[in-house]
Structure 1
């Protein structure tokens, strides 16, 4: 439990489900060093509030309502306009690729929505103190995680480079295979197009899936909807 000498951290919440926000706010209200100064259901409302008042930490859902901005673009926008705020992402669905992209875009931590309130409080304090927060289960699947963490810890001294494109870790042939697959082509059709065997195409597809941290075709389509086309 924090002592009376603990630094007070201000927090804003962004989630399109009011009940979720209310639950978090009630939980944080019991913590002497954490003060919720805003709770919002849309990105626009959050932006308007941050223009008026700064917050130490913004706890935000990665996936908002269907008419709202996508999570990655929102992280980038908030990081550009409100560098003093540290972003903590909460998400019900995450993969190594989404975690990596969120960190590279400017977030300071990622937490699954299945975690309890105690874990969220720990994450908020960690991020508020200028340290990256990730669940232990997220670390093994991340590529170059140490480089991401090292760069994030000195982000106040240097400008971050542009966020990595979704396909940056894929070979050219893997990109070709996924692009064709997204265009509706079958494995055999792709094999004929590039004069490769069907087994080679299948292997390249599965290799790309592993690098992106996905397992199913539906996850691939969801990823491209979230982060844009490959290539």
Structure 2
């Protein structure tokens, strides 16, 4: 008679969220999940890096929006770059814009989950992330597929110029001076650029432009 297979190893998890109440809720929720152990909590990106170095978790459950200091995308990039023995990062956030998803995935996140997910889906995603499998919320997967199926946006020559100035970190007044146009014209073009790229912020426009290789 064959012996039963040994249970999978327990997933060691670090929580990173700047709200203590959210962390407490997640810890309580995850205490009911078989095979998952919360070994640490971080309230900032810097704390997450320090805990990961000390505790060697399998997964860091990362919020994107962290008040003050290092944001979740930067922390994700630091956690996943270089050392192949580092933790997997599973993003857990309320934000599902194209720019947020793109930045997180490019930074090295193994998965991207929304906080509206059911507990069972969160548990499965954590286990999948620990095994190196991609874990995406349904709406996030839909957005990525839509993006892949959509043709690249067509920007005018002037929009390309303004996008290039954005990537250099210039403000509206500086862009207007550099291109010899008015600030009002810059704002008009920015609105069109945001609409074509499906973003709402300057950083989002630059992130999507880099992803789609729209910058020279």
| Residue of 203, 213, 216 corresponding to 2:198 | 213
| Residue of 140, 143, 147 corresponding to 1:141 | 143
Residues 222 and 80 of structure 1, relative CA distance in 2, 3 Å threshold: closer
| Residue of 25, 45, 49 corresponding to 1:23 | 25
Q: Secondary structure of the residue that 1:23 maps to in structure 2?
A: helix
2: CA distance between counterparts of 1:95 and 1:6?
A: 35
CA RMSD of aligned residues (A): 4.0
Q: Is the 8 A contact 2:111 2:129 kept in 1?
A: yes
Counterpart of 1:14?
16
Which whole-Å deviations, capped at 9, do the CAs of 1:114-172 have from their partners, x for residues lacking one? 223332212212211211111122233327978xxxxxxxxxxxxxxxxxxxxx97755
2: CA distance between counterparts of 1:24 and 1:4?
A: 27
Counterpart of 1:63?
65
Q: Which runs of 5+ in 1 are unaligned?
A: 147-167, 186-191
2: CA distance between counterparts of 1:92 and 1:31?
A: 22
Q: Which runs of 5+ in 2 are unaligned?
A: 175-179, 209-213
Counterpart of 1:165?
none
Residues 128 and 144 of structure 1, relative CA distance in 2, 3 Å threshold: farther
- The answer as to 2:81 corresponding to 1:80 is yes
Q: Is the 8 A contact 1:141 1:213 kept in 2?
A: no
1: CA distance between counterparts of 2:190 and 2:154?
A: 10
> Where in structure 2 are the equivalents of 1:82-231 lying within 5 Å?
82-84=83-85, 85-142=87-144, 171=155, 173-177=158-162, 179=165, 183=172, 193=181, 208-210=193-195, 212-214=197-199, 219-221=200-202, 223=204
Counterpart of 2:45?
43
Aligned residues: 194
